[in-house]
Structure 1
Amino acid sequence: MKVIKILGTLTIAVGLFLSGYFTHKLTNENVQEVSREVQFSYRSNEQPNQINLEKSYTDLEDQNIVDNTMMIMMHKKPSSEVMDIDHPDMYINVLSPKQHTGLVDSRVWFTESGAVIGDRVGESWDQVEYFEVNEQDADYLKEQGGFEEM
């Protein structure tokens, strides 16, 4: 009789565990969190102090765009050019919504040979490091960001 009670208890415990496990698998299988988001923004023509978000891509919807943009940002080369920090052609932000963190805060100026990218390295835009990318990478940023010549 004691063995039957132990086996019954074990059977109930295993049954509860398995029902909880499979319920979790079925209800949470399609739930994924965005880990990276790339935002392309521009200064408003009507409101000069306003920055308008033009396009936004997440790693769940557009993994290739997020990866390619991150690769461009990681492989840019240092530049000696200094640009007008208040008048970029495009703003690029890379965020980690999962961690509630901004990873990249950049301003972009398109040139004949590609683009110059200014990265904020301090608390404000008083501290900026400049980099350059080639024409192919600049064209990719233009295309994904919906850039139109002003």
Structure 2
Amino acid sequence: AHRPYPDLDALLAAGDEASYDLTPADLDEALADEAVVGRLPAADGPGARAAHTALRAAHAEYQRRFGHVFVICLDGLRPAEMRDRVLAEIHARLDNEKDAERVQAAEELRRIARGRLARLIAGHPQASGIKQVSGIMGFRPA
């Protein structure tokens, strides 16, 4: 109804508005969608196996507690920072009540969608002067 969008800010505002209107069923569907799930970059070096094991265990506990994959927007982080951030956030969010975690997961989905829209427009030939945004999607351990 609002299209065409005159600029990136208008498009992002419309995306935000749509995300704020998600029903509980919409959120369940989004959290079940494999398209939201991404992979962390492979880790090498000392401690990589232990970090991977810790991440898998934390994610399994998260899924058991909340019933869906852990979703986090990692836009702006370097690949070397991502694994530690995900592990820290899973542990922090395990303390959330279920309703509070649904709100947090919805916010992370909104941030992921915003980043995807910005990257999509930045790659469009008619999008001159729009800054490229880096990022990654949600998370599921390998």
Structure with the larger RCO, 1 or 2 (CA within 8 Å, 6+ apart)? 2
Same fold (TM over 0.5): no
Q: Which has the larger radius of gyration?
A: 1
The TM-score normalised by the length of structure 2 is 0.25
Q: Which is richer in strand? A: 1
Normalised to the residue count of structure 1, the TM-score between the two structures is 0.24
